[in-house]
A and B are shown apart, each in its own frame.
Chain A
């Protein structure tokens, strides 16, 4: 029998991470987590720790990593401000169902509640925005709690977990043994679907004349892209995506009818209110998708595939709920549905697309105005990447434009802050994405506002040498807010104009190759230059200052009242 050696709680943290197959952590050290960092130093050949420039950056980097790999992103931070700085990223991961484990240091257990230096109640603060959280005050609890943390973060509907470890528990000695968590008795990660409902759903699908699918990130999180494609191809149902469902189905798939929601495509929004059957697949009827609920798909029967029972009837009352992972439920329903096509119905999508193309898309992609449009920048990136890049977006006008016009061949290629709408997300998320998928091209498209919220992560990109391509679409405005001010607040531009620094100089200050473009003739060659670079590259594009994103469903309006201008 092997002799059991006692190790510190801090070392137990590292060993537990290694047992979970973790080799990458984003974080920031500080007083209350120093014992763990000391152990990290000893294990640096096995565990790569990336020092971000702010703890928020660490969370978004971990999110970017998780979104492109499907693995759990790991974050470390110290107590107090280190921990509170994680909250935005944790809230973002919670609402966008991103698997993440955050480990925070905490003051020694005898100091808890004494307002000790850098003490904060991070368990209390993070409770509403974590899938699970737990404070550890004894070294012996560390392996079990971490095993549970990883299991909960990645199983079922994924989400962020925070583990807070007191400093004395990090120093305390313990006997280490690790076994992966396989179940928690009070937790059902994947609920069962009902056979009766499955049959009912199949019957509705077989009888539908004008069915429409709206799919979300559930397809990607379930690794069910193939199952989804098989399902739509057999049934011939036009399929629209939510912003987080983007890239689950290739852009050029004949049944891909575009994006639903506030700045989505004309056809799927208008036809949501004409379909006779709406099939929601792994999506949650966000208000940005549904518009006014009183007039949302009232004429249609609704089937809802979701892994989370709390999503059923949360926003929209559905006729048939189908619980479970779509990776399992879609093949089951595939057996019950008839081979079909809906050519004339699909034709309606095409003719509405023509209207949108002539009124909006054509001018966006091929502007006749002098100023550069955001969409033509995205178009050039599509051409240079051949649709194979991972596109990371921040929040605002550029995000809507990028999601509308970016082309994707592969899944897990669109990373954006959808639910929380976190400005500052893209730059650190792009770093995480590039580290998660180093073989792939990663292009971050960011506005000039959001870029300055986490601009310091240029330092992390430089230090890690990650070949992230950063495109800032600069209109010297908080463009989306300005658009709303123009449309709904009589052009009172309250605090939306930005007097910006010289971004190129800043990027160069971080030793990142940088270029600025403001003329159409230079756009293509500059994007090619950027894409051909093997190193990080910063490209600032001056775009039209006061340009509005259309189509648009104004707040409170019906999806079918989507405006083209």
Chain B
């Protein structure tokens, strides 16, 4: 029986190195795996970066890919988690014509019910922000779409694991002399 694809969140802790992004994306390219989302930011440890990569592949493939990522010299550790094992969110921004707010009565109700925040208002447009799971930001997108979205953007997934990752311990055990 062939294994089913599933969504996995891969978390990678790395040193800050210029070429590493290229190296990590090459691991997916080599295996013809498309990346659903990719975010990078400084982690809770100074000068240590964290990549969060979302892919939809089988468990055995994600295991192999994570080992290849971990093999990169400047990667400190890499983990993969299923959706059940992480707490994750995405943020979406929606830019809408200000006029619509006055002309289209249901719009006010949609925004109110969605618990989205209005973050900018100008005479021409306003921008609302919604943070949540993919289905929440997607629902708002489909609700707003009939009223004319000027722009829409969604961030990559950000996620923290339920289990500890112990990066400080890994670094503490193997420090640069």
| Closest partner residue, chain A, to B13 (CB atom) | A186
Instruction: Kindly specify which of A50-58, A122-130, A251-259, A359-367 makes contact with the partner chain.
Output: A122-130
Q: How many A residues are at the interface, by size bracket?
A: 20 to 34
**Binary contact track A102-134/B, C-beta < 8 Å → 1, others 0:** 000000000000000000000110011001111
**Interface digits, B68-91 against A, CB 8 Å rule (1 contact, 0 not)?**
101101111000000000000000
State whether B176 touches A135 (Cβ < 8 A).
no
Stretch of B17-25, B32-40, B122-130 with 4 or more beta carbons under 8 angstroms from chain A: B17-25
Once bound together, how far apart are the Cα atoms of A134 and B75, in whole Å? 15
Q: Are B19 and A127 in contact (CB under 8 A)?
A: yes
- Complex Cα distance, B19 from A186, in Å, reads 15
Is the Cβ of A314 less than 8 Å from the Cβ of B73? Answer: no
Judge if A313 is at the interface, Cβ distance under 8 Å. yes
Neighbouring A residues of B19 by C-beta, 8 Å:
123-124, 127, 133-135
Per the bound structure, the CA–CA distance linking A133 and B18 in Å amounts to 10
Q: Which of B26, B67, B171 contacts A127 (CB 8 A)?
A: B26
Q: Closest CB of chain B to A199's CB: distance in Å?
A: 24
* B175 at interface, CB cutoff 8 A: yes
Given known A-B contacts A131-B73, A152-B73, A309-B71, A186 and B22 have beta carbons under 8 A apart: no
CB distance from B2 to the nearest CB of A (A): 12
Contact A186 B74 (CB under 8 A): yes
A186 with B18: CB separation less than 8 A? no
Contact B68 A186 (CB under 8 A): no
- With beta carbons under 8 angstroms apart, the residue of B22, B30, B73, B76 that contacts A132 is B73
Interface size on B, residues (CB 8 A): 25
Q: Given the complex of chains A and B, what is the CA–CA distance between A413 and B15 in angstroms? A: 39
Does B136 touch A at the CB level, under 8 Å? Answer: no
B174 and A314 contact, CB distance less than 8 A: no
Do A128 and B73 have beta carbons less than 8 Å apart?
no
A183 at the interface (CB under 8 A from B): yes
Q: Is the CB of B174 within 8 A of A185?
A: yes
Contact yes or no, A186 B23, CB < 8 A: no
Give the docked Cα–Cα distance between A183 and B174 (Å): 8
Within 8 Å CB of A134, what residues of B?
A: 17, 19
Bound CA span A310–B19, Å: 21
Question: Which residues of chain B are within 8 angstroms of A183 by Cβ–Cβ distance?
Answer: 174, 176-177
With a cutoff of 8 Å between Cβ atoms, the chain B residues found around residue A488 in the complex are: none
What B residues does A124 contact at CB under 8 A? 19, 22
Is the CB–CB distance between A186 and B15 below 8 Å?
Answer: yes
Q: How far is the CB of B57 from chain A (nearest CB, A)?
A: 15
Residues of B within 8 A of A123 (CB): 18-19, 22
Question: Closest chain A residue to B20 by CB distance?
Answer: A127
Decide yes or no whether A182 CB sits under 8 A from chain B.
yes
**How far, in Å, is B131 (CB) from chain A's closest CB?**
32
Q: In whole angstroms, what is the CA distance A152 to B71 when docked? A: 12
Contact with B along A292-328 (1 / 0, CB 8 A): 0000000000000000111011100000000000000
- Complex: chain B residue closest to A188, CB-CB: B174
Q: Determine the residue in chain A with the shortest Cβ distance to B68.
A: A310
Q: Would you call B63 and A128 a contact (CB within 8 A)?
A: no
Q: Which residues of B contact A186 (CB under 8 A)?
A: 14-15, 73-76, 174
Name the distance in Å between A311's Cβ and chain B's nearest Cβ.
9
Instruction: Give Cα A362–Cα B19 distance, bound, in whole angstroms.
Output: 54
Distance in Å: Cβ of B26 to nearest Cβ of chain A: 4
Of residues A124, A128, A309, which shows the largest number of chain B Cβ atoms within 10 Å of its Cβ?
A: A128
Interface membership of B109, Cβ < 8 A: no
A331 to chain B, nearest CB (A): 25
Residues from chain A with Cβ under 8 Å of B23 in the complex: 127-128
- Assess the A309–B73 pair: CB atoms within 8 A: no
In contact, B73 and A185 (Cβ under 8 angstroms): no
Q: What residue in chain B is nearest A148 (Cβ atoms)?
A: B73
Interface residues as binary, B142-177 with A (CB distance below 8 Å gives 1, 0 otherwise)? 000000000000000000000000000001001111
User: In the complex the two chains form, is A313's CB within 8 Å of B63's CB?
Assistant: yes
In whole angstroms, how far apart are the Cα atoms of A308 and B73 in the complex?
13
Cα of A442 to Cα of B151 in the assembled complex, Å: 68
Residues of A contacting B64 with CB < 8 Å? 310, 313-314
Output the nearest chain B residue to A186 by Cβ-Cβ distance: B76
Partner of A310, one of B30, B70, B174: B70
Closest approach, in angstroms, between the C-beta of B170 and any C-beta of chain A?
Answer: 9
Q: How far is the CB of B165 from the nearest CB of chain A, in Å?
A: 14
B67 touches A184 (CB 8 A): no
CA A312 – CA B68 in complex, angstroms? 11
Interface positions of B from 1 to 57, Cβ below 8 Å from A: 14-15, 17-19, 22-23, 26, 29-30
Q: Do the beta carbons of B30 and A128 come within 8 Å of each other? A: yes
Query: Which residues from chain B contact A188 at a C-beta distance below 8 Å?
Result: 174
Q: Bound state CA distance, A127 and B20, in angstroms?
A: 9
The residue from A128, A133, A135, A310 contacting B71, defined by CB atoms under 8 A apart = A310
C-alpha spacing A309/B64, complex, angstroms: 10
CA separation between A152 and B75, bound complex, in Å?
14
Bound CA–CA A314/B63 (angstroms): 9
Would you call A135 and B18 a contact (CB within 8 A)?
yes
* Shortest CB distance B19–A (Å): 5
- State in angstroms the CA–CA spacing of A310 and B23 once bound together: 16
Which of B14, B29, B176 lies at the interface centre, i.e. has the most chain A CB atoms within 10 A of its CB? B176
Return A171 CB to nearest CB of chain B, in Å. Answer: 22
Closest CB of chain B to A97's CB: distance in Å? 12
- Point out the residues of chain B lying under 8 angstroms from A131, CB to CB: 73
Considering the chains assembled together, what is the distance between the CA atoms of A313 and B64 in angstroms?
8
Which A residues are CB-close (under 8 A) to B67?
A: 309-310, 312, 314
CB closest residue in chain B, given A314: B64
Q: How far is the CA of A310 from the CA of B64 in the complex (A)?
A: 7
In the bound complex, how far is the Cα of B25 from the Cα of A127, in angstroms?
A: 10
Which residues on the A side are within 8 Å of B63 (C-beta)? 313
Contact B176 A185 (CB under 8 A): yes
**CB neighbours of B18 from chain A (8 A):** 123, 135
Best-surrounded residue of B26, B29, B73 (most CB of chain A within 10 A): B73
CB-defined contacts of A185 to chain B, threshold 8 Å: 15, 76, 171, 174-176
Given contact pairs A184-B73, A309-B70, A310-B67, a sample of 9 additional A-B residue pairs in the complex whose CB atoms are under 8 Å apart: A127-B23, A127-B26, A131-B73, A183-B174, A183-B177, A185-B15, A186-B74, A187-B73, A310-B68
Q: List 5 A-B contacts (CB under 8 A).
A: A131-B73, A135-B18, A184-B73, A187-B74, A313-B63
Considering the complex of A and B, which 5 residue pairs feature the smallest CB-CB distances, nearest first? Answer: A310-B67, A185-B176, A128-B26, A186-B76, A132-B73
